[in-house]
Amino acid sequence: MAKFKAKVNRNIISCRKKQQREAIFKVYKDVIYAVTQGKFLLVNVHEIYCYTDEGVKLAAVNIFTNKDVGLARQITRQVVKDVFPEYDKIQKILLCVSEAATNILKHAGPGQLIIKKTSDDSLRFIFNDHGPGIDIEYLPSMLFYKGFSTKTSLGYGFNLIYSIVDKMILSSSPNGTTVAFDIILE
């Protein structure tokens, strides 16, 4: 009987902790969305599929080694050239791709980039990994302070991507992270 009560108590505590985490997540999501005026969207692992399934897939690149960062840029350059031949600000897109791919290698291990066309004038770059995830407590610092990193590198990457792209979507859990960003090619 005592064992049963202890088990019930553990379940109740676990359930409350889960509710607390969900409440904190929702506060972070709403505040960051409001502060960034809708530019940054934090979503949970179930919601991210709404964004990663959208659009037509144009290319995919596995990011396993440092050399794949250059390959990701090369393929991005080709995709943009094919779809929007007149576009002349490619350098900033390549910078975002390089930053996101490098972040995967530095913080998560192997990952993948998928490039999609989501509208007549918009591309979505989706980066997936199975690393340890991003602690959402660090998000405000990662987004709004230059030079912040949870690792001992200069770690400007996340802030740099945010400053360039038109929309950014993040989903992260201890099983991995998906970072997607949209660039409108006008």
Partner 1 sequence: MFEVITCHNESISCLKLSGELDISTVEKFRLGIESIPETSTEVHLDFSCVEFVDSTSIGNLVQVMNQMRAQGVKVMVKRIPKEIYEVFDLLGIPELIGEEYFECLI
Binding site for partner 1 (CB under 8 A): 65-67, 69-70, 73, 91, 94-95, 98-99, 102, 105-106, 146, 153-157, 160, 163-164
Q: Quick one: 68 exposed, middle or buried, by C-beta within 10 A (0-12, 13-18, 19+)?
A: buried
What DSSP designation does 1 have?
A: -
Q: Quick one: 175 exposed, middle or buried, by C-beta within 10 A (0-12, 13-18, 19+)?
A: exposed
Q: Quote the least distance from Cβ 146 to partner 1, whole Å.
A: 6
Say whether 17 sits in a helix, a strand or coil.
Answer: helix
Q: Name which of 21 and 146 has its Cβ closer to partner 1.
A: 146
Q: Name which of 14 and 66 has its Cβ closer to partner 1.
A: 66
Q: Quote the least distance from Cβ 75 to partner 1, whole Å.
A: 14
Q: Quote the least distance from Cβ 73 to partner 1, whole Å.
A: 7
Q: Name which of 105 and 108 has its Cβ closer to partner 1.
A: 105
Q: Name which of 48 and 76 has its Cβ closer to partner 1.
A: 76
Q: Are strands 56-63 and 176-184 parallel, antiparallel or unpaired?
A: unpaired
Query: Rounded to 5 degrees, what are φ and ψ at 133?
Result: 90, 170
Q: Quote the least distance from Cβ 106 to partner 1, whole Å.
A: 8
